[in-house]
Amino acid sequence: MKLRTLVTGTAGTAALAMGALVTAPPALAVSPATATVQINCEGGWPSGQARLDVQQNGTTATITFTTSVVWTSHSIPANSMNTTLTMSNAHGGTVTFKGTSNPAWTLPWQPFNSGPLTGTVAPGDVLQAKSLTSTVGTLAINCTATSPQAPGPFVF
């Protein structure tokens, strides 16, 4: 191979790579990535603090809802609990995040973890936790947020 061909090929490859970087869309980031909220659960279920962890990939967002509040006295198989998290939008609407990806609860009396809940977001959405409903068989848990998210709502 001639040196000139190697240099031209390398330079061309570098130019293409730089062009791809310049035209690539900016990465979307939600802020904050983690928030806490106080919840009140109906029907005699305990209440307390919950944590929301969010990730964004384009118009898809994934939220995991965890709390040290214990909601069951028996094991629940993985991927069997239907969970819907409703978030209020600063524009007056709501956005829902749904999933059935709860991790296995191998022992009774363990804290709740929804697993990833997925929903669609738009740039500029400002979302605040409103309510959470989880069901498995005849077990139903309905919780309402009783405080604003701290440090603040999710901004996409």
| Fold that domain 34-155 belongs to in CATH | Immunoglobulin-like (2.60.40)
Structure-model confidence comparison of residues 115 and 71, the more confident one: 115
Residue 22 has a pLDDT of: 46
Domain ranges of the chain: 34-155
Q: Model-level pTM greater than 0.85?
A: no
Report pLDDT digits (tens) over 44-69.
777 899 999 999 999 999 999 998 87
Report pLDDT digits (tens) over 11-46.
544 444 444 444 444 456 899 999 999 999 888 777
Burial of 16 (0-12, 13-18, 19+ CB in 10 A): exposed
* Spatial CB neighbours of 27, under 8 Å, sequence gap ≥ 6: none
Residue 7 has a pLDDT of: 46
